[in-house]
Chains A and B, each alone.
Chain A
């Protein structure tokens, strides 16, 4: 046959197949040193536009724990919109917009009921609040890594936050190890709104800085592990202005150690995911978080059931009924000793360039599962959270 001209033009995206067969063969290629260099960092090969909606619904407070007010707690609707695009051969830009719409009541303070047991006085009529957050991230890619810079701003009736962060990831020569680091700073203003309950401050500020350092290591062609250490310091007004009995230190130092392991099973087309986090702060709280998940590929779709277990000790100045004789005091359940279990499932359905996402999660607290004794808070919260999302990738 004679040669012909003007054949098949080959843009790189024609080779971005989502075929599970090719993905598995590609994973096998990664065990050959030659192809590990080909996995060097690069900006995304396509643009991505996504939208996600979550509904968060707290269980009503148990009547036996309620002294006054409505037992109904918070509902939050979160809508996220994001867009990411490569720019040139080495850059990408992403923009995120999030809107949180919140309604409901929260505990105002904890008192003693007629039996002398702690009971909750709620904040009265349901509040309605709306928060909008906008963030922009620009990222630069080179052969051995990538670096990103993010600025974001969020505003709601009583709170405004401005933050920026910088992160970098660097790959070793054979791409088997990735070092990552990040630094961030946030400057927040709290200006509580006096509605159903009195507030005793007009306007306060707080600043937060954090630092993170981590490393991930490819253990084999099907396994990877990571470890990371984060440090965060907040200074300024750290108390909750909507709680009657809440006076916290004006500095809060936090340390978090995290580790993770991923193992892919080729024949089963699935991956085991294990994660652990240890947290410690200078308010006296320690916590452990452990999560186990199974990621299952189903053709080009996937589903991931998971379970997460959490346990924390109480802050030094926490009491179920705040002790006002001490310098610092709080009855906020989030500072109490408690445990929690989260059970969830997260699925992705791929349809050409579109990806549908759905997630359902149930979070249940247990006052008896805290670290270091009880002093249980009566206002521990249980909730449901459901999420759906749609992502579109295009050239």
Chain B
């Protein structure tokens, strides 16, 4: 899942063995889920779709994959097109580790393979209608995996716990009576340094973006998110955390905020009506930060 993961289950003393089994089963499920949607595994749904890109061959998908694609379609529309799971092909040009700018003509060439409108989904399955196009659901699968793991654990009768997949957190139940789970929100590049602690019960928090992965273009800092319209990195380097009833929804809203860029992110987040936190240049903003500041001022 691209980072450290942890499963925490609250159980009775007599349920120790059961809890261990549940953890093992859940890890197995997560590994299978990751494998099913991995771009690097030839037999995965994503690899099959991508290998048939530009051909007439339709790839059948199950209800789960169909639902995830439909959610991506909805997010693509609601984001005004900035959320586009076919944008990954641009990473062939951009290398954020070395901060080197790519050849513009290469970016232009790759940009011609980008476009969610090329993905066709109907009763028979999925077809990516452009040669060399690639779809990547990595942007939603991790959050979905957190939700699925939480539901998986509860199906065994466990009533309280926390699933943390590289900073996307799903909680269920409470830590103790009247004691919610204390969840630290971090910059994804600095997972061990929480910037704020929130209390959650039966809620999820997802974080997108990074203050550490960036590239400087003309003296201006840009994030590692790429625009499906221009092929260029999005201006601004910040991370966004959103709280919602599901990790997938929280992650979708947070990711779109990062993709919209600094100037439009706040409007988008406020439009969602969900609690959010933005970290930029070590400064916190958003309803979560404001409530924290109010509590500190009242002490």
With both chains docked as a complex, state the minimum distance between the C-beta of A369 and any C-beta of chain B, in angstroms. Answer: 42
The answer to whether B68 and A1 touch across the interface, beta carbons within 8 angstroms, is no
* A9 pairs with B274, CB closer than 8 A: no
How long is the Cα–Cα vector from A10 to B181 in the complex, in angstroms?
10
Please give, as numbers and ranges, the residues of chain A lying within 8 Å of B64 by CB-CB distance: 32-34
Interface-lining segment among A23-31, A101-109, A230-238: A23-31
Are A25's CB and B252's CB within 8 A? yes
Name A23's closest neighbour in chain B (CB-CB).
Answer: B273
CA distance A24 to B252 in the complex (A): 13
**Which A residues lie within 8 Å of B75 (CB)?**
25, 28
Query: With A15-B244, A17-B274 in contact, is A7–B288 under 8 Å at CB?
Result: yes
A30 (CB) vs chain B CBs: closest residue: B67
A4 near B: Cβ within 8 Å? yes
Given contacts A28-B71, A33-B63, contact A10 B151 (CB under 8 A): no
Interface residues of A in 19-63 (CB under 8 A from B): 19, 21-22, 24-29, 31-35, 37-38
Q: CB of A18 within 8 A of chain B?
A: yes
Is B285 in contact with chain A by the CB < 8 A criterion?
no
Footprint of A on B, CB under 8 Å? 63-64, 66-68, 70-71, 73-75, 77-78, 144, 147-148, 151, 180, 182, 184, 193-203, 243-246, 248-249, 252-253, 271-275, 282, 288, 291-292, 295-296
Q: Which of B63, B71, B199 contacts A10 (CB 8 A)?
A: B199
* Contact present for A10 and B275 (CB under 8 Å): yes
Contact of B291 among A8, A12, A221 (CB under 8 A): A8
Q: Is A14's beta carbon under 8 Å from chain B?
A: yes
Nearest 4 A/B pairs, CB to CB: A17-B273, A32-B67, A28-B74, A19-B273
**A residues in contact with B253, CB < 8 Å:** 22, 25
CB distance from B167 to the nearest CB of A (A): 14
A325 in contact (CB, < 8 A) = no
- Chain A residues, Cβ within 8 Å of B194: 1, 3-4
Q: How many residues of A contact B (CB 8 A)?
A: 34
Interface status of A267 (Cβ within 8 A of chain B): yes
Question: What residues on B are CB-neighbors of A25 within 8 Å?
Answer: 71, 74-75, 78, 249, 252-253
Across the interface, B243 reaches (CB within 8 A) one of A15, A22, A32, namely A15
Asked whether A298 is an interface residue with its Cβ less than 8 Å from the other chain, the reply is: no
Q: What is the CB-to-nearest-CB distance from A223 to chain B, in angstroms, rounded to a whole number?
A: 14
Do the beta carbons of B272 and A19 come within 8 Å of each other? yes
In the bound complex, do residue A34 and residue B243 qualify as a contact, i.e. CB atoms below 8 Å apart?
no
Out of B144, B180, B248, B252, which one reaches A9, CB within 8 Å? B180
Q: Does A88 contact B (CB under 8 A)?
A: no
C-alpha gap A38/B144 in the complex (Å): 14
Given contacts A29-B248, A33-B67, A266-B77, 11 further A-B contacts (CB under 8 A): A4-B292, A7-B288, A7-B291, A8-B291, A12-B203, A19-B273, A21-B271, A25-B249, A32-B248, A34-B151, A221-B70
- Known interface pairs A19-B272, A34-B151. Does A10 touch B203 (Cβ–Cβ under 8 Å)? yes
- Residues of chain A contacted by B151 (CB below 8 angstroms): 34, 37-38
A116 within 8 A of B: no
Q: State whether B246 touches A38 (Cβ < 8 A).
A: yes
Q: Looking across the interface, which residue of chain A has its beta carbon closest to that of B289? A: A8
A57 to chain B, nearest CB (A): 41
Chain B residue at smallest Cβ distance from A222: B70
Residue of B nearest to A12 (CB): B202
**A22 and B274 form a contact (CB under 8 A):** yes
Q: Is A9 touching B199 in the complex (CB atoms < 8 A)?
A: yes
Query: Across the interface, which residues of B come within 8 angstroms of A27, CB to CB?
Result: 74
With a cutoff of 8 Å between Cβ atoms, the chain B residues found around residue A19 in the complex are: 271-274
* Chain B residues whose C-beta falls within 8 Å of the C-beta of A3 in the assembled complex: 184, 193-194, 197
> Complex: how many Å from CA A110 to CA B249?
65
**Shortest distance between the CB of A3 and any CB in chain B (Å):** 4
A37: which B residues are within 8 A, CB to CB? 151
Q: B199 to A7, Cβ gap below 8 A?
A: yes
* Smallest Cβ-Cβ distance to A5: which chain B residue: B197
What are 18 inter-chain pairs, A to B, with CB distance below 8 A? Answer: A2-B193, A6-B197, A7-B292, A8-B198, A8-B288, A12-B202, A17-B274, A22-B249, A22-B272, A24-B78, A25-B252, A27-B74, A28-B70, A28-B71, A28-B75, A31-B66, A34-B147, A266-B77
Provide the residues of chain B in CB contact with A24, threshold 8 Å: 74, 78
Q: How far is the CA of A14 from the CA of B197 in the complex (A)?
A: 17
CA distance A25 to B199 in the complex (A): 25
A7-B196 in contact (CB<8A): yes
Complex contacts, A2 vs chain B, CB 8 Å = 193
A124 to chain B, nearest CB (A): 59
A263, chain B: closest CB distance, angstroms: 16
Q: Is the CB of A31 within 8 A of B203?
A: no
Inter-chain contact B243/A14, CB cutoff 8 Å = yes
A33-B155 Cα distance, complex, nearest whole Å: 14
Q: Are A35 and B246 in contact (CB under 8 A)?
A: yes
The smallest C-beta distance from B134 to any residue of chain A, in angstroms, reads: 22
**Complex-state Cα separation, A189 to B235, whole angstroms:** 76
Is B273 a contact of A32 with CB atoms below 8 Å? no
Tell me the minimal C-beta distance from B102 to chain A in angstroms.
Answer: 33
Chain B, residue nearest A22 (CB): B272
User: In angstroms, how far is the closest chain A Cβ from the Cβ of B154?
Assistant: 10
Taking the closest CB of chain A, its distance from the CB of B291, in whole angstroms, is 5
| Contact between chains at A7 and B271 (CB < 8 Å) | no
Candidates B71, B275, B292; contact of A32 at CB < 8 Å = B71
Contact with B along A284-319 (1 / 0, CB 8 A): 000000000000000000000000000000000000
Residues of A near B203 (CB, < 8 A) are 10, 12, 15
CB distance from A26 to the nearest CB of B (A): 7
Complex: A2 Cα to B197 Cα, angstroms:
10
Contacts of B292 in A (CB 8 A): 4, 6-8
Indicate the member of B63, B74, B151, B295 with the most A CB atoms within 10 Å: B74
- Distance in Å from the Cβ of A11 to the closest Cβ of chain B? 9
Contact A7 B197 (CB under 8 A): yes
- Whether B272 lies near A15 (C-beta < 8 A) is no
